[in-house]
Every structure is written in structure tokens, then in C-alpha cells.
Amino acid sequence: MPATRTLFFCTECGNESARWAGQCPACQAWNTLAQAPAPARGKRGPTLRAGAAAPARLGEGPSAPRSRRRTGIAELDLVLGGGLVAGSVVLLGGEPGVGKSTLLLQAAAALTSDSGPVLYVSGEESAEQVALRAERLGPGTRDVLFLAETDADAVVAAALSESPSIILIDSIQTMRVDDVDGTAGNVGQVRECAARLQRYAKSTGAAVVLVGHVTKDGAVAGPRTLEHMVDVVLYFEGTRGAEHRILRAAKNRFGSAQEVGLFTMTGAGLVAVEDPSEVLLSNRSRSAPGAAVTVTMEGTRPLLVEVQALCAESTFGSPQRVSTGVDARRLAMLLAVLEKGTGVTFGRQDVFLNVTGGVRLGETAADLAVCTAILSSARGRPVAHDTVVLGEVGLTGELRPVPGLARRLAEAARLGFERALIPDAAEDPGPSADRLRVTRLPDIGAIAEVAFA
């Protein structure tokens, strides 16, 4: 047997290095380098050759704009950027139990009735288990081709004989090939299986969706090692137990990576949330201090979310800063600006921050709402119920305009809000301003005077 070159992959970021180290040179994570044999050359299961390499014009041949297949699940299509692109590979990541298999099976059913055979491969569940689940999801799932298989080469062979237009692999961590060392789920196996399926996709034009389990501690060879290889990376998130699920694009070669889709898990599978803003605000209490509503742009859609804060006297030495849905460093900065701008001190206060519905606020437009919620909790005074708060907070306490103001305000007005607090420097608030009382604020200090009921 020829000596195989060994490589090391970081299970966190997928970085490839020639020798082992305790710390990943790329992402600085500790103890994440795992050994994997470099792909053996010339030994690649069923071989697929796309033909001799010959250049072609961009508008012609394989490089011409490719066709997309709508999955029939509107929220999924939105996040995909319009549907599955022929010949592409999509990675669907998420924690176990979040609903990845359910989403795929539902998509498979919708796709089968629309665009021919869909092959659903499960390495985790038996045909009986999947059939049982399929029954709950409705009659459309009956025509989905099912294969219980963990050998990636066998999957490719089955695909070659059935020629499905779409292949769903549940999950990539259960797949293995014989000519690579290690058990299923190890980095080398995961990468090699994905590479073979990708080669199949590229040469036949079938779209492949790979499910990848993500664990919180990253102990398992995570799908992160695949992020570089695939065309689209989607993450399915949601707290287990809570019924809402958020589907988010982390990378998309064929569309925006900003879009999110919202689902509710029901007894009959995942159902798209028709009015996300309304749902996210549905359990709002009328008069509790420590909450402020803002409008965040998730891709092209404005979404109303509630930011909640709790300030409480710390019982231990250094005060805690716990934040869910807002970057912890951003929170630290906003607290410092708040102290300077309003005189309220947080040196002996624990500050907890949460965004309802599991939404992550990645944009600075939510700054002012975060500050308002914190101030509201610190002062014990609720924010007026009919008010939305929008604005970026600068280091000197100045308020900066937010992009897409008119669309955000239109969404707030649609949901019955009557008042908006926006930065002084903001652009024209648009026609919906007629339905809202718009108050312009010069700096963070002004919020204390106008926000509270």
C-alpha cells in the first residue's frame, strides 16, 4: 500500500495544515486539529469524467446561467435565493432535533410532484422510521425515492441508475467510503464523501443537499469543514422545545446570504410563518420595564423584534454581562456610551440581554433599542407600548441614521405601532410616517426623556 500523506483539518474552521498543533493557526481555536489522510490520488470510487477540458464562452455551455428548481416551500426558496440551482451543493446545518430531516422530507415531497424524482438518502433512520414520519407530513411524501445507505459510493451508484434531479443526504456525518481511513463522521470521511457527491452533482447537474449536525462544543467533525467546499450554507436554528425555527443563509454563491425564513414546528411538520413580525411580538407584556421594540432587516424583509434587558444588582465581584442575540462586545460598548450619555451607572449591575424569538441582531440599527431596553430596566419604567425605536449609537453618544428607514417604518405602521423614535440625522421617513408620530432624537441622552410611558 502506498504511503498516504497525512493532513490536519481544524474541525472548527476547516483550515488545512501540514502538521499538528495544539492551536489552529487560522481560527486560534484550541484542540481542534484532527488528522485526516489526504485524498488518495487516482482512487475515487465510481469515476465520473465531465469530458476533456475545453474553454467555452461564459454565456454558453456549462457556465451559462443555471436553472433553479423551486422547492415549493416559499421560505426555503427565499433563503436559497429562488430555489435549488442545478449542479450545486447545499449544506444544511443545525443542532440535532431542530427539524432538518423534517424540512428535507417536506421539500422532497414538494419537489417530487413538481420536477421529477428526488432521492432521499438516510444514514440515520430506517425506511420504517422515515415512512412513519412521512405519513405525518402528508401524501406528497409517498413518491419520494428512499434509500437507507451509509456508503457514499453506493449512493452515487444508486443515483447514476435512478438519475434523480435532487439528492438529499441525511446526514453527511453518517456517510463513509471504504478507501479512506476512519469511521463515519471523522473529518477525512466527511470531506471525501462530500467531495464525491459534489463531483457527481457537477457532472450530472443534479442538486445535492447535505445535512450536517452541528454540536455546540464542536467535538464532532463539524460541517464547518465543508463550508468552503459547498455552494450554499444554510443553518437551521431554534431553541429545542420552542416552536419557532429560523432558517438562515451563511453563504450563498447564487444569491443573498442575508435572507431568513421562519417556520413553526407543528404536529404535521414545519409550517411557514405567514407574518413573522406579528408572531415575534405576540407574547409581549403591556407594562413590564426592560423591553423595547425595533425593526431589523433580515435580508430584504423588515422584521419587528423585541429587545429585552434586565439590570440587577450584582451579588458577585465583577458584574455579569450576558447577551443572547446581540454581540457581547457591542453590548459592552453601548453600556459605556449609556453611562456617559445618561449618567446611569452599570458598574455594580448585572446586565442580561435577550432578543425574543431567537433572532440575532447583527445590525447596528438595533443599538438604540438595546439602550432603551437597558435604560427602561435600570429605571424601572416601561417603554410606551406603541413605540418602535430605531438608530445606530456612535461612541460619542450621537445617533446615526439607519438604512431602509421607510420600509422599516412601514412595517411598524402595518403592525399598529403609532410612534417611532429615530435619529435626528435620519433620511426622509417615507409615506408611512403619516400614520406614525415620528420623533427625532439628537443623541442618546434624549432617549431618557421621550421613550417612557
Interface with ligand TYD (CB under 6 A): 94, 96-102, 133, 136, 265, 267-269
For residue 453, the partner it binds in Mg ion, ligand TYD, none, with Cβ less than 5 to 8 A by kind, is: none
Q: Does 252 bind Mg ion (CB under 5 A)?
A: no
Q: Which three cell numbers stand for residue 202?
A: 457537477
Q: Which CB, 138 or 394, lies closer to ligand TYD?
A: 138
Of 13, 72, 8, give the one whose Cα is nearest residue 233.
13
Least distance between Mg ion and beta carbon 102 (Å): 8
**Binds Mg ion (CB under 5 A): choice among 11, 32, 71, 101:** 101
Grid cell for residue 348: 455594580
Written as nine digits, the cell of 78 is: 427565499
Q: What is the DSSP letter of 70?
A: -
Of 230 and 451, the one with the shorter C-beta distance to ligand TYD is 230
Please give the C-alpha separations between residue 290 and each of 75, 216, 345, in angstroms, as whole numbers.
32, 29, 16
Number of residues binding to Mg ion, judged by CB under 5 A: 1
For residue 393, list its beta bridge partners.
Answer: 399
Distance CA 85, CA 68 (A): 4
Which does residue 99 bind out of ligand TYD, Mg ion, none, counting CB within 5 to 8 angstroms by kind? ligand TYD
| 3-class DSSP assignment, residue 89 | strand
Three-state DSSP class for 112? helix
H or E element at residue 393:
strand 392-393
101 versus 354: smaller Cβ distance to ligand TYD: 101
Using the rule CB under 5 A, give the single segment among 98-106, 132-140, 218-226, 407-415 that binds Mg ion.
98-106
Comparing CB distances to ligand TYD, the nearer of 81 and 269 is 269
| DSSP-derived secondary structure for 387-412 | EEE--EE-TTSBEE--TTHHHHHHHH
Q: Output the smallest distance, CB 383 to ligand TYD, in A.
A: 35
Length in residues, the chain = 453
d(C-alpha 85, C-alpha 37), whole Å: 31
Partner touching 296 among ligand TYD, Mg ion, none, CB below 5 to 8 Å by kind: none
Residue with Cβ nearer ligand TYD (210 or 399): 210
Indicate the residue among 98 and 368 with the shorter CB distance to ligand TYD.
98
Task: Quote the least distance from Cβ 245 to ligand TYD, whole Å.
Answer: 9
Could you report how far apart the first and last alpha carbons of the chain are, in Å? 77
In whole angstroms, the minimum distance from the beta carbon of 97 to Mg ion comes to: 8
Residue nearest to Mg ion (CB): 101
Distance in Å, CB of 170 to Mg ion, minimum: 6
- Cβ(12)–Cβ(222) below 8 Å: yes
Q: Which is nearer to ligand TYD, 160 or 268 (CB)?
A: 268
Rounded CA separation 107/100 (Å): 11
- The distance of closest approach from Cβ of residue 105 to ligand TYD in the complex, given in angstroms and rounded to an integer, is 7
Q: Which of Mg ion, ligand TYD, none binds 330 (CB below 5-8 Å, type-dependent)? A: none
For residue 398, what are the β-bridge partners?
443
The β-bridge partners of 297 are 302
**In this complex, which beta carbon is closest to ligand TYD, that of residue 358 or of residue 382?**
358
Within residues 47-86, the interface with Mg ion by CB under 5 A covers none
Which one of ligand TYD, Mg ion, none is in contact with 267 (Cβ closer than 5 to 8 A by kind)?
ligand TYD
- Which residue type does 163 have? S
At 252, list the grid cell. 450563498
Binding interface with Mg ion (CB under 5 A): 101
